[in-house]
Structure formats: structure tokens, C-alpha cells
């Protein structure tokens, strides 16, 4: 159990995180920060006064706190509109920013299209962490995932094992779920990993996908696997299109908590993590989804897989996409 976990952003994912951290007893204190709702300067002053007193973070914390006697947990919950609720956090999970949302015509933006708005938010987040919990381990979830982690790293420069992004556990979970469904076996039996950036070029690695230790190709034919891999790459968008109001939020929260638990309980669990690479997979200075051992020091070790030539080429393409978004982020940061 940690002394304190800080949650940056108290929206859909932040809400599930707080609820699950309380339920699982992962920390003695949860601090949640979110500026919402923000007064609109064009509203009448009376309305602005009302909004100033409202707070999603304080409200969600109070809601969960009032349920603690029912679930039998003694935990402290602190919410704030500024970043003060993060004070003393040993681990922070960042979800601050806007999610993808279906447009009226049913289309939706790519994760990369969120960059301009979420980059500004990320600069505030970095300041908040710097001020209130500069030594906290960081798990970042906000999109575009790889470029936001990269930006936090540029601003905060923590030891490279103490900052990571969550996407691979979710993307691999999606891959595993689709394989389990098609093969009609337990999700527990399916082992699979998705590498690369958290975009539509992510790389589901068929050569390391197994059912109870047996290669997946023994169970599913080429056509089925190709369809599953294509669906995995677009799985985030599938949920965005269905929900209409935003993006997936329960599965991403559970995925981040699998990472958090590996750290909190020093499990040394191998999970796909968006980690800073310094030569592994031929990549330097970028955050990319790769398998890594997660333990009390965060990213303890990046594991290099033997990939087929096709998988290697797919990973190179995905990394090129990550680099492009990070270069765009760098250029935008000059203007902010």
C-alpha cells in the first residue's frame, strides 16, 4: 500500500481509477485534481460565481468517501481544482486532457489530432507535478499517448525508469480478448503483446501470441488472425464510435492499475509499457510501447523480442509515426 496516489484529471478514467484504488486499498490517501467545471467568461457573473464553487474532483472524492463505510475502507480522499491535492503523492496517474469524441456525422478525430489542446494541458500538469510531488513515479494515460509522455519527460526529466505511459496493456488486452473470443477459450489462457506507438499503426505481435503456451496459429487461421489484428489496431476508435460521448474508460483504468500494482507490490511483472528507449529496438530518445519488467523502481528492464522481418518493419513504421508526433509536439512547444 502506498501513502498516496495522485490522480491528475477526474473525468471518466480518473473516476474509475479513484473508485478502484479505494476498493483495492492501494493507497492510504488519494488526491484528485481537476479544474472542471471552468467558468465561462462570456457567462453572466452570477453564473460564473456558481461554477467557481463547483468541482468535479471534490465532488467525486466526496461521493467515493461517503461509500467507504459500505466497502469497509479507511482511506482519505482529497480533491482540488488546482494541483494542491497532489501534495506528497508517491505515484501520479495522468489523464488530463480531452478524449476523442464522435462528431455528429459519426466520424472522430485521430489521437494525434488531440495534440494541440492536450499539449497545453500537459504543460500545466508538468508544473503541478514539479510543485507538489516532484519525486512521484509517473504513469501517463492522456492522448496522444507517446507524445504526451515524451513532453512530460522533457519538462520534468525524471530518472527514465520513473516515467511511463499506459497503452500497451490496454491494446494487448483488446488483442487477447478478441483471440479468446474467436478461439472460445478463457481470456486467462491468451498471452499476447502489442508493440509500438498507441496509434493505428500499433503492432500486434502474432509470433508471441499464445494460447496456454501453444502458438495461436494452432487455433486460429490466417484470415481470422488478420481480422483480429486489424480490429485491435482500430479498437479504440470502435469504442469511440459506439459511445458517442468520449472514449473507452473502464479498460484503460484497469490497465493503468495493472501497471500501478506491479510497481506498488514490486511484482516484477512483464507488461507492455510505453518506456523511454535508449538504443533498444534501435530507437533512441523516444517513448514507445515495449515489454518491460515493472517493479518497485518502475521500469526495471526493457525486454527485446525476436521479431519476424514483417513485425520489425511494422514496428519501424509505428516508431516513425511516434517520432512525427513528437516532432510536432516539439515545434508546438516553441510557440507555447
**Which residues are catalytically annotated?**
198
Binding characters for ligand TXD, 102-131, by CB under 6 A (x = yes): ----------------x--x--xx------
Residue 142 is a binding residue for ligand TXD (CB under 6 A): yes
Interface with ligand TXD (CB under 6 A), residue from 2, 22, 33, 263: 33
Task: Indicate whether 8 belongs to the interface with ligand TXD (CB under 6 A).
Answer: yes
Place of cell 496493456: 169
Q: Which residues of 121-144 are buried (b: 16+ CB within 10 A; e: fewer)?
A: bbeebbebbeebbeebbbbbbbbb
Does the protein bind ligand TXD through residue 39 (CB under 6 A)?
no
CA atoms within 13 A of residue 317's CA, in its CB half-sphere: 11
Q: In a 3-state reduction of DSSP, which class is residue 246? A: coil
Q: Which of 6, 9, 158, 199 binds ligand TXD (CB under 6 A)?
A: 9
Residue of 12, 175, 219, 281 interacting with ligand TXD (CB under 6 A): 12
How far apart CA 150 and CA 77 sit, in angstroms, is 29
Residue 313: Cβ within 10 Å count: 12
> Does position 14 bind ligand TXD by CB under 6 A?
yes
- Pick from 95, 232, 318, 325: which binds ligand TXD (CB under 6 A)? 95
Q: 213 to 242, contacts with ligand TXD by CB under 6 A?
A: none
Binding mask 164-183 for ligand TXD (x = CB under 6 A): --xx--x-------------
Please, what sign has the CA dihedral across residues 245, 247, 250, 253? negative
CA–CA distance, 269 with 266 (Å, rounded to integer): 8
In the block, residue with C-alpha cell 459500505:
70
Binding positions for ligand TXD, rule: CB under 6 A:
8-14, 33-36, 56, 95-100, 118, 121, 124-125, 141-143, 145, 166-167, 170, 198, 246-249, 252
Amino acid at each position: 500500500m502506498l501513502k498516496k496516489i495522485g490522480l491528475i484529471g477526474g473525468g471518466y478514467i480518473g473516476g474509475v481509477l479513484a473508485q478502484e484504488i479505494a476498493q483495492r486499498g492501494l493507497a492510504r490517501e488519494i488526491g484528485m485534481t481537476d479544474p472542471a467545471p471552468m467558468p465561462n467568461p462570456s457567462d453572466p457573473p452570477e453564473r460564473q460565481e456558481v461554477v467557481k464553487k463547483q468541482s468535479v474532483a471534490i465532488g467525486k472524492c466526496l461521493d467515493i468517501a461517503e461509500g467507504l463505510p459500505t466497502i469497509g475502507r479507511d482511506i482519505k480522499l482529497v480533491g482540488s481544482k488546482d494541483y494542491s491535492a497532489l501534495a506528497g503523492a508517491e505515484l501520479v496517474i495522468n489523464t488530463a486532457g480531452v478524449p476523442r469524441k464522435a462528431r455528429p456525422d459519426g466520424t472522430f478525430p485521430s489521437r494525434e489530432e488531440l495534440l494541440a489542446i492536450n499539449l497545453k494541458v500537459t504543460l500545466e500538469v508538468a508544473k503541478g507535478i514539479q510543485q507538489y510531488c516532484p519525486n512521484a513515479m509517473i504513469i501517463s494515460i492522456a492522448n496522444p499517448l507517446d507524445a504526451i509522455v515524451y513532453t512530460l519527460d522533457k519538462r520534468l526529466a525524471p530518472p527514465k525508469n520513473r516515467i511511463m505511459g499506459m497503452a500497451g496493456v490496454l491494446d494487448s488486452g483488446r488483442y487477447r480478448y478478441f483471440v479468446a473470443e474467436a478461439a472460445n477459450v478463457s481470456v486467462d489462457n491468451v498471452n499476447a503483446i502489442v508493440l509500438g506507438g498507441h496509434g493505428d499503426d500499433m503492432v500486434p505481435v502474432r509470433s508471441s501470441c499464445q494460447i496456454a503456451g501453444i502458438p495461436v496459429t494452432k487455433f486460429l487461421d490466417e484470415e481470422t488472425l488478420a481480422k483480429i489484428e486489424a480490429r485491435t489496431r482500430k479498437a479504440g476508435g470502435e469504442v469511440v464510435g459506439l459511445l458517442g460521448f468520449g472514449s473507452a474508460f473502464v479498460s484503460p483504468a484497469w490497465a493503468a492499475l495493472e501497471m500501478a500494482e506491479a510497481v506498488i507490490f514490486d511484482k516484477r511483472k512483464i507488461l507492455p509499457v510505453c518506456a523511454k528507449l535508449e538504443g533498444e529496438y534501435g530507437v533512441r530518445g523516444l517513448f514507445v510501447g515495449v515489454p518491460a519488467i515493472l517493479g518497485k523502481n518502475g521500469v526495471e528492464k526493457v525486454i527485446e523480442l525476436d521479431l519476424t522481418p514483417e513485425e520489425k518493419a511494422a514496428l519501424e513504421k509505428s516508431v516513425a509515426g511516434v517520432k512525427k508526433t513528437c516532432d510536432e509536439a516539439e515545434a508546438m512547444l516553441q510557440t507555447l
